[in-house]
Amino acid sequence: MGAIIKTQDEIIKMRVAGKLAAEVLDMIGEHVVKGVTTDELNTICHDYIVDVQGGIPAPLNYGHPPFPKSICTSVNHVICHGIPSDKKLKDGDIVNIDVTVIKDGYHGDSSKMFVVGKPSILAERLIKVTQECLYKGIEIVKPGTTLGDIGHVIQQHAEAHNYSIVREFCGHGIGATFHEEPQVVHYGRPGTGEVLEAGMCFTIEPMINAGKRNSKILPDHWTVVTKDRSLSAQWEHTLLVTENGVEILTHREDETIPKIIEH
């Protein structure tokens, strides 16, 4: 089963959901400070999505066992799917906040790295290179590009900086369903895998480790950490393949990459 090509009506709804996800990440930034708990951040995001945006937080009760919170907060050596808790953020922590908003039945999915106080040079560099990996993947999205092409440019950039790519988790098709085909891995060989077509919507969300790529899932069945406890970073956008390029549906104002790229 391949990717679901979106209709014009669906694309309009995807744009709305994507914009809302971006707005949550814009809104939460000022709250990511020393002493706040990730559960407090979860509550702020939940209330904003439900009360202000009239949306639904997709992670809440998703999966088996049901995910217990409305956002994912992955701190330091947590790769992804960190469950918000009463643990307070401290100076130098890095945290990925991953939000997915459902609006009118369609999903917008995005994540961003935040820093508490002053990060280490290692953390700052890892965050920067990981965002560059995302942007390099996005920049080649257009009809005719393959998923292997995207994985390859991400892998090359990360490994050129002696970082490693998490392989057990990947980007995904998205629309009326949270996770659709295709799977978008962040490593690969050029010219392999599914060929992109206009109307496809999917996420690119590279997870890059400062140490080795190996990961493990904690007993809560959700939280994924680096086995060697090295730092991990992730950035994510929801994308639409256009007739001649790509539109970033979850684009934020603070970004250097354009919202629409044409080739």
- What's the whole-number mean pLDDT along residues 190-206? 97
Per-residue model confidence (pLDDT) at position 2: 80
> Does pLDDT of 161 surpass 80?
yes
Band the pLDDT of 132: cuts 50, 70, 90: very high
> Does pLDDT of 251 surpass 90?
yes
The encoded tokens of residue 102 equal: 């459902």
Are 184 and 170 a contacting pair, CB within 8 Å?
A: yes
What does pLDDT average to over the chain? Answer: 97
- What's the whole-number mean pLDDT along residues 177-200? 97
Residue where the block lists tokens 């080795």? 212
> Does pLDDT of 133 surpass 80?
yes
Band the pLDDT of 121: cuts 50, 70, 90: very high
- What's the whole-number mean pLDDT along residues 54-67? 97
> Does pLDDT of 32 surpass 80?
yes
Distance, CA of 25 to CA of 199 (rounded, Å): 25
- What's the whole-number mean pLDDT along residues 78-107? 98
> Does pLDDT of 1 surpass 90?
no
Distance (Å) of CA 136 to CA 13, 128, 151: 26, 12, 10
Q: What are phi and psi of 156, to 5 degrees?
A: -60, -45
> Does pLDDT of 43 surpass 70?
yes
Q: What is the residue type of 94? A: I
Region of 249 (left: φ > 0; alpha: ψ -120 to 50; beta: rest) is: alpha
